[in-house]
Structure 1
């Protein structure tokens, strides 16, 4: 006599067998759509904006859902130091600063297409970080 566990196993095996059509894999495994976030950081605004424009242009050519570029607030790192090494003389100071600019781009696409899009030439000094999260 087959118990309730045996019946459930039979049902799941029928469902698994019916999801394959004529030797093809299920469509969900072929092209799963991921939510992909591309984070770009740089000290040079022009090169950062150029890379953003190239990425968005490539994504729109492939007709993907694109959100961005989202311009995050600029981080300004400041160091104030005395000009003289010995400490004598007039009290003169140097003020150095480094500005870090950041952009976010969100894509909804399979990861294979993102590999094609991100294979563009990236300007020197621009850091690219790709994060994949399931939608």
Structure 2
């Protein structure tokens, strides 16, 4: 009985934010996290999808400025997802050890008060 009380007191609320340029990487990583959290009995509220951030860059093709006005258009998209977790710190560490973080995916963990 005392062990259960201690475990409930140690659990905290965390906010997990995932950002990447590649949509399949983000979706796959979110799927892996949700499956691993269900296996380890971590309370997780669903994926919150944020609007896509678009950065557009327009530049001249000709470096010298002579010739016809031709332009290149480049676009970078940033995909962002968020989770809310309620767990202990040790369970959180085992969760991140079980799910491999792919290159190009930025993971931010914040503790909610």
Both structures adopt the same fold (TM-score exceeding 0.5): yes
1:81 correspondence with 2:93: no
Counterpart Cα distance in 1 of 2:102 and 2:67 = 44
Q: Choose between structure 1 and 2: higher strand proportion.
A: 2
2:105 to 126, 130, 134: 126
- Runs of 4+ aligned residues of structure 1 deviating over 6 Å after TM superposition are none
What is the SS of the residue equivalent to 1:53?
helix
CA root-mean-square deviation:
2.0
1:45 to 14, 23, 29: 23
TM-score norm. by structure 1 comes to 0.75
What is the SS of the residue equivalent to 1:66?
strand
Structure 2 alignment gaps of length 5 or more: none
- 1:31: how far off? 5.2
Number of equivalenced pairs: 111
Structure 1 alignment gaps of length 5 or more: 1-23
Larger Rg: 1
Larger RCO (CA under 8 A, 6+ residues apart): 2
TM-score norm. by structure 2 comes to 0.89
Identify which range, 114-123 or 93-102, moves more after superposition: 114-123
Counterpart Cα distance in 2 of 1:115 and 1:64 = 12
What is the SS of the residue equivalent to 1:123?
coil
